Structure 1
Amino acid sequence: DITDRKRAEAAVRESERHYHLLADNVSDVIWTAGREMDLTYISPSVTALTGYTPEEFLRLKADECLTPDSFQRLIASREEVLARIGAGQPETVPPAPQVLELEYRCKNGSTIWAEVVISLIRGSEGEPQGVIGVTRDITERKLAEAALKNSEEYLQTIINGVQTGLVIIDPRTHTIIDVNPAAERMIGVGRDKLIGSICHKYICPAEAGSCPVTDLGQAVDNSERTLITVHGPRSILKTVVPAEFSGEQYLLESFIDITDRKRAEERLIESEERFHLIFRNSNDAIYLFEITASGMPGRIVDANEVAVLQTGLTKENLVKKTFLEIHTHELPTKSRAIMMELLTKGQIRFETEVQRRDGTKLPVEVSAQFAKLNQKTYVIAISRDISRRKREERALRIANQKLQLMNIVAWHDIQNKVTGLRGYVELSKDLVTDETMKKFIQSEEEALKVIHQQLQYTKEYQEMGVHPQEWVNLHQTLRMILSLAELGSIQVIVDVGDLEVYCDPVIAKVFSHLLDNTKIHGKKATRIHISCRETPDGLTLAYEDDGVGIADEQKKELFMRNVGTTTGFSLFFIHDLLEVSEMTIRETGVCGQGVRFEIGIPRGIYRFGRND
């Protein structure tokens, strides 16, 4: 009787039909493999997953349908499965299925990610007979995971890179949960030590139970607070907001260090207070005025009380005028040249007159320079009343004129007497026959000659400082002196370019005396070279000849007045004249090779290439 067998076979066929019906219609790919892991069946849904028909897929080798990394993972899993099948022993507790994430190659050349769950197929006695697998498309999940990972890495890069300190705190325990590198640097403590610590210890100076956010309910939004650091308290700008992570509530604190900015602001406030103190209490008038589009002095923006007194105008009327309008008509004619020099040098000093409200004129000395205010350039001018100085200068000038007149009269009287006496001496030479008397007369004649020379030096010395200093073109001056000098065969080379020196106009006498010195004492001199070169301290003007030079023991007292030698007086005169013009002179030549007089000219009183 095979009735039961028939019934069993029918049941198996019905079960297989139900199984194939299920396998052929689910979206997941269901497949089976034998004991050697060779595919025996794959569901039609493989076409939707990979583009291959079931027949095509069954003909593919594993390394043809998987990427290299996934193929290696499959091989490792296969070895484990084959080891279990090879054992052939029934297991009382079925092992957990293997779960793999593999990257498949599709028919169109693209790839997809799939989750593969592999389980053993066992016989009626529990012995392993093969495997069954379920493959599910997880490409979208993998893309989402990759996007999430990239997003987390991007966010972490930002958090680690920003200069803002970030701290996450548990509001219940006030424990530090996390910090970024900027917070570590500001606090001066490493991440490992900070995490798990109480925030009152390292960050907030508030005592336990007095937290501004959790205990006092204060809003902290861009608020100035204090940060506790290992180097002492620092000023910060702080914001605290609630944040939720993994369903838990936390506090996210962000802060930036504004200590340096606060100090800079304090220094700026202190500087402004000092400026206002000087501005209000200065004995000089101070004006702040604009610059017009054409580069000329513009409207007065501000002025101190001394400026109000200086002009006789009220503050309201003063700031309505331009800087030129409060001065006499002389200033507008010079204003362009003044502004050009101000632009070139950055500062300028000049004298002018303030036109007062009552019609009187007040002489002033103005010192001006540029000033930046709110990214705009102004000119700040300090105007000093020099009316007293002008009166004193006038009185001194009149006194000097009177003294000069008296000196001239006295000098002419003495000169006339000496000239007359020299005439009498010359006449007496023809009347005297006695040789002894002739020697006396010759000595008298020499003495009168020296007196006459000394009178000439005295006249030149009196002229020193009488005339105001001016810009002297040295090349033109030397050319004029050389045209009048009688140097014989001595060659003169002038190598000073277009040098101008601000000095006493009688500087021409300096070079006249130096030329005379070469003629008289140079003896074998055949060449004179006048040159200049700039140094860190200013300019060195050199006068050289190739004469006999000066002995070293004579150089110490070279520029002192030596009674009885005309040369001593002339060098003494040269020294004093240069000193009046803030210049120096020294002799640095080598005895036997010629003299070298070096005239030191400080910066500010010489220039090149100017004709104005």
Structure 2
Amino acid sequence: MVFVAIGAVVSLLSLRLREQEQRYRGVFDNSEAGTFIVAPENAGPRIEEVNYVGAALLGSTTKDLIGEPITRFLDDPGAWRDFQVKVRPDKAVYGYEAALRRPDGVAVQVIVSGGRLPDGRIILTLVDITARKSAEDALRQANTKLNIMGRLTRNDLMSAVSGLLRRISEGMGEFDDPAVRRYLESLEEDARFVQRRAEITRDYQDLGLRPPGWQPLQEVIREVMSCLLLPGVSVRSWVERLEVFADPMLDRVYVNLIENSARHGETVSEVVITYQLRDDGLVIYVEDDGVGVPEAEKEKIFEYRVDGGGGLGLFLVREILSITGMTIQETGRPGEGARFEIHVPPDGYRLI
């Protein structure tokens, strides 16, 4: 009777193991990503198992790939060493970009994710991003050409404005009639406005041209403060260990916010930068002790208006942040100081 019971338990366990194996095999074979199991042998890492999508990605068949060294298909064989270091028993790797080279010479760009199995083997999933990378390259080239055209147009505009200002100055010295002088002064004001706008577009001509990346916020603010002259205003930042995923022009965000406090806060003596974790991400606070922003102006300060009534600097701040999904709003109390809140999405920050 005991042996019968043991036999029943063994049969039941064997059945469940077969069911689990079939389930995992179905996931492996039918995955929409190329999936590989790589054995780290002494002679080099070799492909032990691969699904149909993975074989098609490498321009081969599952049968022909078994036993092949994975490094044979890497455009840079050293990339495997780098990836292997990142894959530890307690940590998987996600979003690792690599270039593959198929036997027919065709290059394939992929995103690789992987983890180490209990027996030491490595399981990999590869997603083809060749089309996306090609589109990004084409868009980058188009942006570069548009940037060149914008630079040439801006240079022509600046030259024309400089010539106009020179003629206005000559006219101011030639005419004494008050009406004519008022007219020339109004023309000079308009020309100066165009000149300032052109200078700002020069500063932001590379917006969105380079890919975003992880940036240590404390270091960004430290570099910003090394370039600003703010007599009578102290800036304190408490954002150590915080990195945000942002456009390379993130420094211009804090230049504008800090300068905005110093220029418009009237009684500002201190700017404080902190952050707070929330369920929906993270919020960065930029606060000052000035006069604050009137309720009716809280949204208008971010608007771009042709007549110059809006704040172009804060308009561009919002644009820079929006590239990586961040938002900004002013939430301070009038009379108690300005308070800018920058919301960072959950995948847009990390604490190191």
Task: Give the whole-Å Cα distance in 1 for the aligned partners of 2:149 and 2:212.
Answer: 23
**Greater displacement, 572-581 / 352-361:** 352-361
Determine helix, strand or coil for the equivalent of 1:325: helix
Pick from 328, 344, 358: which aligns with 2:104?
A: 358
Assess if the C-alpha contact under 8 Å between 1:517 and 1:567 holds in 2.
no
**Whole-Å separation in 1 of the counterparts to 2:100 and 2:59:** 10
CA distance in 2, matches of 1:342, 1:435: 80
Residue of structure 2 aligned with 1:581, choices 324, 338, 343: 324
**Paired residue type of 2:194:** I
Answer with 1 or 2: which has the greater Rg. 1
Give a deviation string over 1:449-485, Cα, whole Å, max 9, x none.
Answer: 2212222333344421111112323233222222222
Indicate the SS of the match to 2:73. coil
TM-aligned CA deviation for residue 574 of structure 1: 0.8
Q: 1:596 aligns with which of 332, 336, 339?
A: 339
C-alpha distance in 2 between matches for 1:510 and 1:338: 38
Instruction: String of CA shifts for 1:195-219, please: whole Å, max 9, x gaps.
Output: xxxxxxxxxxxxxxxxxxxxxxxxx
Aligned length in residues? 350
Q: Does 1:349 align with 2:100?
A: no
SS in 2 for 1:465: coil
Deviation, 1:598, is 1.4
Aligned residue among 290, 293, 296 for 2:39: 290
Q: Deviations over 1:524-556 (max 9, x none)?
A: 111111222333333322111110001223224
Report the secondary structure of 2:311's partner residue: helix
Counterpart of 2:29 in structure 1 is: 280
Aligned to 2:71: 324
Deviations 1:551-605 (A, max 9, x none): 2232244423244346522212111110102212122211111111111223333
Give the CA RMSD over aligned residues: 3.1
Pick the aligned partner of 2:115 from 351, 369, 390.
Answer: 369
The one-letter code matched in structure 2 to 1:354 is L
Task: From the two aligned structures, give the one with the greater helix fraction.
Answer: 2
Deviation, structure 1 residue 292: 6.3
- In the TM superposition, residue 500 of structure 1 has moved relative to its aligned partner by 2.7
Unaligned runs of 5+ in 1: 1-163, 167-219, 225-236, 238-255
Relative distance call for 1:402 and 1:556 in structure 2 (3 A) is: closer
TM-score, normalising length from structure 2? 0.86
Equivalent position of 1:70 in the other structure: none
Bigger RCO of structures 1 and 2 (CA < 8 A, at least 6 apart):
2
Residue equivalent to 2:46 = 299
**2:301/2:314 contact within 8 Å kept:** yes
Q: Distance in 1 between matches of 2:90 and 2:329?
A: 34
Partner Cα distance (1:606, 1:343) in 2:
25
Residues 99-132 of structure 1, C-alpha deviations (whole Å, 9 max, x = no match): xxxxxxxxxxxxxxxxxxxxxxxxxxxxxxxxxx
Whole-Å separation in 2 of the counterparts to 1:507 and 1:449: 27
Aligned AA (2:181):
K
Cα deviation for residue 313 of structure 1 reads 4.5
Deviations 1:240-285 (A, max 9, x none): xxxxxxxxxxxxxxxx8x99x79x939x72x654544454344542
Give the direction of change, closer, same or farther, for the CA distance of 1:566–1:497 in structure 2 (3 Å limit): farther
Deviation at 1:343, TM superposition (A): 5.3
Does 1:517 find its partner at 2:260? yes
Alpha-carbon shift at residue 504 of structure 1 (Å): 0.9
| Cα distance per residue 1:26-49 (max 9 Å; x no partner) | xxxxxxxxxxxxxxxxxxxxxxxx
Between the aligned partners of 2:295 and 2:89, the Cα distance in structure 1 is: 49
Code of the residue aligned with 1:356 in structure 2: it is: R
1:21-36 residue pairs with structure 2 within 5 A?
A: none
Q: Does 1:265 align with 2:8?
A: no
Residue 476 in structure 1 maps to residue 219 in structure 2: yes
Q: Assess if the C-alpha contact under 8 Å between 1:347 and 1:370 holds in 2.
A: no
Deviation (angstroms), 1:303: 0.4
Instruction: Give me the whole-angstrom Cα distance separating, in 1, the residues matched to 2:84 and 2:246.
Output: 21
Between the two proteins, what is the percent identity of the paired residues? 27
Matched, 1:464 2:207: yes
* CA distance, structure 2, for counterparts of residue 421 and residue 277 of structure 1: 74
2:69 and 2:108 map into 1 onto residues whose CA distance is: 17
374, 379, 387: which one pairs with 2:130?
Answer: 387
8 Å CA contact 1:363–1:385 kept in 2: the answer is: yes
**What amino acid maps onto 2:291 in structure 1?**
V
Tell me by how many angstroms 1:345 deviates: 4.4
Q: Identify unmatched segments of 5+ residues in structure 2.
A: none
Equivalent position SS for 2:257: helix
CA distance in 2, matches of 1:426, 1:442: 9
